[in-house]
Structures are given as C-alpha cells and as structure tokens.
A and B are shown apart, each in its own frame.
Chain A
Amino acid sequence: MWDNLQLLFVWAPIINVQVILDGIFVGAVFALSAYGLALVWGVMNIKNLAQGDFVIMGGYLAFALHQMHVPLVLILLIVMPLMFIFGWIIYVVMIRRIIDQDMFVSLLATFGLSLLLQQVINLIFGPEVQTIDMEMPVYDAFDNMVTVPSSKIVTLVLAGVIAVAVVLFMKRSRAGQAIRATAQDPRAARVLGIDIDRVYAFTFAFNAALCGAAGVLVSIIWVIQPFYGITYSVRSFAIVTAAGLGNLPAVIGAGFGIGLFEKYTGAILGTAYEVAAPVCILLLVLIYRQIQMRRNRQVVR
C-alpha cells in the first residue's frame, strides 16, 4: 500500500491522470443506472435490487448483437427499446402487485428477480467473462503513462448524450411532467386525470431502458459476467442514498465520486479491494446520514 501511495504521489504523479480518467469513465455509467434507481424509488417507492442485473442484461443483449455485427449506435437503439418492453412486462407481472406493500417486500421480490435474471443469463451465455471489443484506436499520452482507448471516450460522450436527453425528456415532455407530478403527489395527479398505473409502468420501463443503455456502455469499456449485477445494484444504492432522490446533478456528481473512489482504492490498496469499495461507501454514507439525523433526534427511514 505504501509503495502504491509513493508511486501515485511521489514518483509518477501523472498516473493520477489515468486513475481520474478511469474513474470518470466508470462514474458516467454508474450515474446512469443510479438515476434510473432514483427515479423508480422516488416515483413509486420501489427499491429495485435487480438494478444491477438489468445493467448486466443490457450488456449481454449488446454482446449478442455485437456478435451479429451490428454497429454500436444501432446496438444502443435496439437494446434500449428491448429493455423498455422487458421492464414493462416485469411491471405488469410483479411490481404492480407489490407497489402498495411494505418496503421490504419490494426489496426481497426484486432480489428474487435478480437471482432469476442471473441464472437465466448464466444458462444462455455461460459464466465466462465477456466484453465487446470495438477495435478502435487507443491513444497514449505522457510517454505511454496514460492510455485512453477511444472506445471509452465514445461511451463517455454517449452517456452524456443519454443524460441530456433524459433531462430534457423529464423537463419538457408530457410524459416527463406526468412522472414528476406523480412523484410529488399521486392523489392530486390522479384527480387531474393522470393514469397513475401507466405512469408507474412507464417509469419502471424507462428505468430498465436506462439500465440497458448503461449495460451497453459497460460491456464496451469493461467486462460483463452474469453474477456481476449485485455490485452495480450496491453502487446504485450508494449513489442514491448519498445524493437523495430526484436530484439529478447530485446523482451525477455522486456517480463520478464513487467511480473515482473505487479507482483510487484499487490503485492504492490493490484491485482486490475494488469490489469492497462501493459497499464501504454505502455503509459510510448510511452511518453519516444517521449521525446527521441524530442531531435532530430522527432516524434514517
């Protein structure tokens, strides 16, 4: 650990650039899935533990499409609607029945969904680690100390485009307005003629589509494996608990923060700790929130 610290801050501080860049690349992807979670959590009070498995599912869809030689942009345009339909089906079959229930029910039911998705993906694609090789050029900087694959830049741009599109959609479109109205007050929204059930279905499906997009990006810049989903779920939860619901800039900020934290932990303590890092962040955030609330004699609920 000491060696790594010295390497980072004394001998070759330029490596920091690499770590920060990597953190930003992965943070952009985390922010996407975390925003989906925040949306579902805020609008319909469902804590979706299958969030990470939606991401992985999107990744595998992209992987399958890539093997059929579909170009990247088209992959994104195919995966997102597919995941949207999938999310709608899941809503009708499962989520609609647990929406008024105890909050723990939604956690457990979506954990069951997560197990199911993992296993189905495992059956179809096998347990091997997969990635999409876009065969794009890799740029070097600072005497080969920093490498930036252009595929990562492309995904960052794509993530940015999706984020902007989502923001505009939520702000401007009728559907986005309906979602925001429902989040504020479902009863008033119903009185004003908004079909709550359809808004819920749309929100959940929209979340699935966002996760699918995140999955496509993950499969390009990183690796996917059927059982990696849980770490994405944990990251999303960490980001949302840190940023709060319905606060898009904070979600994006927290996404980048977690990405950077994870990469720095990996660089300093070794990659074995990279999985533990987001979980520890989640715990730290929860503890910090408790201390904050305790001042007002309240609890985190």
Chain B
Amino acid sequence: MSMTNRTMMTYAGLALFGIFGPILFPQYTLTIAYLWMMVLMASTWDTLGGQMGYNSLGNITFFGVGMYVSAIVQISFFYEGGVGEYTSAMGSIKPEFTAAEYFWGLGLGILAAGIVGLLLSLVFSSFMFGLRGPYFAIGSLGLAIAVAEITITINYVGGASGISMPLFPGDIEFRSTFFYMLCFAFTIVSHFLLRWLYSTQFGLAANAIRDDEDKAEAMGIPTLAYKRIGWAIPAFFMGCIGAVAGNMAGFIDKEVAYPIPTFGIFMVAMALLGGKGTLWGPVLGAIIFHVVKEATWTYLLNLQWVALGLILIVNIVYFQQGIMGWLQTKYPELFGIVVDTSNIADGDEKEAAR
C-alpha cells in the first residue's frame, strides 16, 4: 500500500477537515457527519456497483434493517418490558438509561446491525446473483421496497408509527460530537478497508467480473464467492451506519429507515458523479454532491427535489464518466498512466508547475 505524496496530502487535508471542521463550525457538526455518512454510502456502493459491475439499487435495505436491529437491541437489552411493550406505548415510555447502559446498548446495537446486514446480504446473495445487469438493479430495488413494506406491517417494531430511540445521556453538543465521531470513524475504517481490498486479488477479480463475468468464470475465478464478499462488505457497513443514523435521527419509521428515493439513489448518483470504479471517485462525488446540496437547499424552497431530479438526469445523461473518469481521460499522467518514458522521471515536478 504505497502512497504518493499527493495521496498523503489528500488524507492530511481530509483528516484536518474532519477533526477541525466541527471544532471551528460547531453548528455544522451534524451536517459534516452526514457528509461522512454519504462518503461511506457511495464508497461501499462502489464495491459492488463500480468495481464489480453489479449495479445495486437496494443497498439501502441494509441501512434500514440495521436501524431497526439496533433499535431492538438497544431497547431489549436494558428495558425489562421488552420491545413489544415499548413500541406499543408509542413513545410514552421513556426509560432512563444510565450512560454506561446506553453506550453498551449502542455498541452492541451497531455491531448487531452490521452483522445482521451481512447475514441478510448472504441470504440475498443466494437468490440474486443469477440476475445480471438491469435485472439485478430492478430486483434489488424490488428487495428494498419489499423489505420496507414488510417492516411497517410488523407491530413488534412499531409498524407504520415507528419507534423513538432511547434518549442520549448527555447534552446536545456532546451528542452531536459523539455521533459525528462515530460517522467519521466508520468512514475512515471503510475507506482503508476498501483501499486495502482493491489492492489485493479481490480488486483484480472484481474488475474481471465487471469486464466479462463468463470469461472470469472460465479462468477459474470463484465469481459467486467474490460477489458474496462484494455485497457483504457494503451490507455490513450500511448496517452499522444505519444504526448510527437511527440514533442520530432519534426516531425511526419507514421514511427514515428506507429512504429509497433519497439516500438510496443519492449513493448511486454520488458514485457516478465522482466516477464509479475508482477509489476516490465516490469520495469526491459525495463531497461535491453534499456541498452543492447543502449550499443550494435553503434557497430553492420547494424546488429542491425538482433540482435534484434534474441533477440526476444531467449527470447521468450528459456526464456519465464522472469527474474522475473525465480527469483520467483529460490528464492521464495524473493517474500514472504515462506512456512517454521521458516524462516519468520529472512527472511530479511538472505537476507542481502546472
């Protein structure tokens, strides 16, 4: 895992922003937390969607399931009445958790959410990976809708009226800082895991599957196993971040847990905007998307969703290769794709001069 100077600089810049951003602008702490969350979503979507070519529209399922699982764990571990009693009271029961109880519950909840997400992805893998191309996309979208619709018919988890999450033991500033740190930490972990993963045989196999699955299989690559891993990793992280997001929101129902038209599509759009199939593309796309969204949101009033649809269309129809893809064709030397040997030695100086 060798890093060039430029990558080191980028990491340093992002780390500085991640640490000092919320200290300098405390009112934007949660906004930046959502930024990291979106970076995580787009990056993990890219594992299956970009690197492996299986365009999933259903990764949001794990997000919602993780949210509900963590809610069940957090409530059932430290509230004697059980989840059923808690949800049937429609939020009128407000159990007083001590700080230790709350944080234990949260930790276990996040872990359980990740694991359940992972297991669920393995279940889905068993019947989804015979589908290719658009069928996989439609099928995964169908999965997301089906899981969302079935969740709201289960009264145990509050049905259509939702669950309110346990209260955070601490003041509001500590709360936002705490959840900010969780989001930041998960994003860092996922990023470096994916970075390492793409540098291993997994990355090569994933790209082989994307380019031509039949040939990859003929070459003896166990494609199904790789595809399972390629969905299990996003599912684990989506479950974890779903648990965090549920606690951040404080109240979960179908709209919060399964935001199919918003986050479910945003993550794809962000990965495409940045350039899918690259490590940095989804990160860049998520940052740009989030900044543009937050900057314009307040001025557009009712038109923000219309603008969003337009952005999606323009992005996909007119600007498909994404920013990283465009940069790659425009400035191939930036990515080490240098053909002329005389340029290799002083490539970096030329960059600096540019």
Contacts and interface: CB of A to CB of B under 8 A. Distances in A.
Q: Do chains A and B interact in one complex?
A: yes
Contact of A273 (B133, B153, B310): B153
Interface in B128-163: 130-135, 137-139, 141-143, 145-146, 149-150, 152-153, 160
A111 B152 contact: no
Contacts of A111: 57, 265, 312
Contacts of A301: 131-133, 135
Main secondary structure of the interface of B (DSSP, over half): helix
Given A119-B309, A237-B138, A275 B131 contact: no
Given A120-B306, A290-B127, A272 B313 contact: no
B130 A272 contact: no
B317 A97 contact: yes
Interface in A86-127: 94, 97-98, 101, 103-109, 111-120, 122-123
Interface residues on B, range: 35 or more
B306 A275 contact: no
Nearest to B53: A104
A283 B265 contact: no
Interface in B78-131: 127, 130-131
Contacts of B150: 276
Nearest to A237: B138
Contacts of B313: 94, 109, 112-113, 116
Contacts of A153: none
A287 B160 CA distance: 29
B272 interface: yes
A104 B146 contact: no
B318 A97 contact: yes
Given A108-B316, A299-B130, A116 B145 contact: no
Interface in A267-301: 270, 272-273, 275-276, 279-280, 282-283, 286-287, 290, 293-294, 299-301
A123 B142 contact: no
Interface centre among B272, B306, B318, by most chain A C-beta atoms within 10 angstroms, is: B306
B338 interface: no
Nearest to B126: A287
Contacts of B133: 103-104, 301
Given A104-B133, A276-B149, A290-B131, A109 B316 contact: yes
B308 interface: yes
B220 interface: no
A241 interface: yes
A146 to B, nearest CB: 28
A298 B160 CA distance: 41
B320 interface: yes
B146 A283 contact: yes
Interface string A136-153: 000000000000000000
16 contacts: A94-B317, A97-B318, A105-B316, A107-B57, A108-B269, A109-B312, A109-B317, A112-B310, A112-B315, A118-B305, A119-B306, A123-B302, A279-B142, A287-B127, A299-B131, A301-B131
Interface of B: 55, 57, 127, 130-135, 137-139, 141-143, 145-146, 149-150, 152-153, 160, 261, 265, 268-269, 272, 302-303, 305-306, 308-313, 315-318, 320
Given A98-B317, A234-B142, A279-B146, 8 more contacts: A94-B313, A97-B317, A104-B137, A106-B134, A107-B134, A109-B316, A300-B131, A300-B135
Interface of A: 47, 94, 97-98, 101, 103-109, 111-120, 122-123, 230, 234, 237, 241, 270, 272-273, 275-276, 279-280, 282-283, 286-287, 290, 293-294, 299-301
